[in-house]
């Protein structure tokens, strides 16, 4: 490994390709119906308790903004609204919300917000917590396709077997990297409201992670278990320190049973091998100010897989479009998968 490879990758928004460049160029999100997301939760409503469980379809609407509208309609504080996470504003998203209503009911048939449709209302005993979703199902159409379709089919087949680099993509950083600017302002004493602070801290951690992942993509080690690696089980947030000279590790990694990981920077050191820890520190040196700021904020250190493999991936062509469907675990970005096959002529915004 060579930390000098960090280069452009250390800028957070640059994401080297793991293999060859995408075979296609096409328009992403020409219409909301071209980007459809269904949230996957590990449980459903239990039919009892003091929360209304809402299954909501939204178009062109931000999740946090919709939560505020639900609170206003129900006459409750926003803290009474539960949802698992932010979804894309540009697109059609079906996700779940809970509204805490102890001892009373709300006539949701009267709820009318442009771009929002209530699909189902049931009762539930608990608030949906942030980060509690298992993942998302995507149905995506890329239009005005130009390029080598045969090679694109080969890239799709490789994606289904070997996965893609698990980058945080552009929407995490805000327009023009504005969330990173907020992070630096926060770390130098500026006051941010709760939502801005959350976006800023997430962007800071994401930029450091992308720098490490980009360097390992350039080195060709993003999909291998290195000495001293902290690995993660596929489909789980459970990580473990690898055992030196275990001959089975990279065989399991090749089968995507386990994955190498990169840092979600925090206040304490995790048990990473000395050489790998030095590499991660070197290739993210452009973000030393962010690392210091995150440590002062006392965020818990964590790890994220360097690789993501889309589940149930399919792709088919029409006259001028590529239609793709796949599932991803929570926290993974569909655009990190799409960019391996098609360079979008319109990037998503949140």
- The reported pLDDT for the residue numbered 346 is 53
Domain membership flag for residue 60: yes
- The reported pLDDT for the residue numbered 6 is 37
- In the chain, the number of structural domains is 2
- The reported pLDDT for the residue numbered 5 is 34
- The reported pLDDT for the residue numbered 347 is 45
SS3 146: strand
108 and 252 both lie in a single domain: no
The active-site residue out of 34, 88, 223, 282 is: 88
80 and 158 both lie in a single domain: no
300 and 187 both lie in a single domain: yes
- The reported pLDDT for the residue numbered 171 is 82
Q: Helix H segments across the chain?
A: 63-74, 149-162, 178-187, 194-219, 249-254, 274-283, 288-296, 334-338
Domain membership flag for residue 198: yes
66 and 165 both lie in a single domain: no
- Torsions phi, psi for 79 (to 5 deg): -65, -20
10 and 55 both lie in a single domain: no
Q: How far is the C-alpha of 251 from the C-alpha of 162, rounded, in Å?
A: 13
- The reported pLDDT for the residue numbered 1 is 53
Q: From residue 36, give the alpha-carbon distance in Å to each of 56, 87, 99, 174, 334.
A: 13, 11, 24, 21, 11
Domain membership flag for residue 287: yes
C-beta of residue 230 within 8 angstroms of C-beta of residue 306: no
Q: From residue 290, give the alpha-carbon distance in Å to each of 164, 280, 281, 305.
A: 26, 14, 12, 21
Q: How far is the C-alpha of 53 from the C-alpha of 127, rounded, in Å?
A: 9
56 and 20 both lie in a single domain: no
Domain membership flag for residue 135: no
- The reported pLDDT for the residue numbered 230 is 96
Q: How far is the C-alpha of 334 from the C-alpha of 327, rounded, in Å?
A: 9
* 88 part of the active site: yes
256 and 162 both lie in a single domain: yes
Q: What is the CATH number of the domain that holds 76?
A: 3.30.2350.20
Domain membership flag for residue 35: no
Q: List Cβ neighbours of 252 (8 Å cut-off, separation of 6 or more).
A: 258
Q: Which of 124, 155, 190 is at the close of a domain? A: 124
Beta-bridged to residue 343, according to DSSP, are: 25
What secondary structure, in 3-state letters, does 78-129 show?
A: HHHEEECCCCCCCCEEEEEEEEECCCCCCCHHHCCCCCEEEEEEEEECCCCC
Q: Which of 124, 154, 185 is at the close of a domain? A: 124
For residue 269, what are its two tokens? 């050191």
- The reported pLDDT for the residue numbered 2 is 47
Domain membership flag for residue 36: no
Q: pTM above 0.85?
A: yes
- The reported pLDDT for the residue numbered 13 is 63
Containing structural domain, residue 195: 3-27+144-308
Could you say which residues of the chain have pLDDT below 50? 2-12, 347-350
19 and 157 both lie in a single domain: yes
C-beta of residue 187 within 8 angstroms of C-beta of residue 290: yes
- The reported pLDDT for the residue numbered 176 is 82
Q: Which of 124, 154, 171 is at the close of a domain? A: 124
192 and 167 both lie in a single domain: yes
- The reported pLDDT for the residue numbered 182 is 93
Q: How far is the C-alpha of 225 from the C-alpha of 247, rounded, in Å?
A: 11
Domain membership flag for residue 37: no
163 and 272 both lie in a single domain: yes
Domain membership flag for residue 225: yes
C-beta of residue 292 within 8 angstroms of C-beta of residue 187: yes
Q: What is the CATH number of the domain that holds 259?
A: 3.30.2340.10
DSSP letter at 22 equals P
- The reported pLDDT for the residue numbered 209 is 96
101 and 209 both lie in a single domain: no
210 and 298 both lie in a single domain: yes
């Amino acid at each position: 490994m060579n930390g000098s490879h960090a280069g452009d990758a250390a800028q957070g928004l640059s994401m080297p390709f793991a293999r060859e460049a995408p075979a296609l160029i096409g328009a992403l999100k020409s219409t909301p119906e071209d980007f459809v997301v269904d949230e996957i939760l590990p449980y459903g409503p239990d039919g009892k308790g003091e929360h209304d469980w809402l299954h909501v379809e939204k178009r062109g609407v931000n999740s946090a903004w919709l939560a505020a509208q639900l609170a206003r309609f129900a006459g409750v504080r926003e803290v009474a609204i539960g949802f698992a996470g932010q979804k894309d504003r540009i697109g059609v998203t079906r996700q779940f919300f809970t509204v805490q209503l102890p001892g009373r009911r709300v006539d949701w048939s009267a709820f009318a917000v442009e771009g929002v449709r209530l699909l189902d209302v049931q009762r539930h005993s608990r608030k949906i917590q942030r980060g509690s979703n298992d993942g998302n199902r995507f149905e995506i159409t890329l239009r005005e396709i130009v390029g080598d379709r045969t090679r694109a089919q080969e890239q799709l087949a490789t994606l289904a077997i070997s996965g893609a680099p698990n980058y945080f993509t552009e929407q995490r950083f805000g327009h023009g990297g504005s969330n990173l600017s907020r992070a630096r302002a926060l770390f130098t004493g500026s006051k941010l409201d709760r939502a801005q602070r959350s976006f800023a801290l997430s962007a800071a951690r994401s930029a450091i992670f992308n720098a490490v992942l980009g360097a390992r993509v350039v080195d060709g080690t993003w999909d291998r278990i290195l000495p001293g690696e902290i690995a993660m089980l596929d489909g789980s947030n459970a990580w473990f320190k690898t055992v030196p000279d275990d001959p089975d590790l990279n065989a399991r990694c090749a089968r995507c049973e386990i994955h190498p990981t990169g840092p979600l920077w925090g206040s304490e050191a995790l048990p990473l091998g000395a050489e790998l820890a030095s590499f991660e520190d070197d290739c993210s040196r452009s973000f030393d100010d962010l690392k210091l700021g995150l440590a002062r904020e006392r965020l818990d250190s964590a790890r994220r897989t360097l690789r993501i493999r889309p589940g149930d991936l399919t792709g088919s062509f029409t006259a001028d479009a590529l239609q793709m469907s796949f599932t991803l675990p929570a926290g993974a970005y569909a655009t990190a998968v799409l960019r391996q096959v098609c360079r979008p002529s319109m990037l998503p915004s949140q």
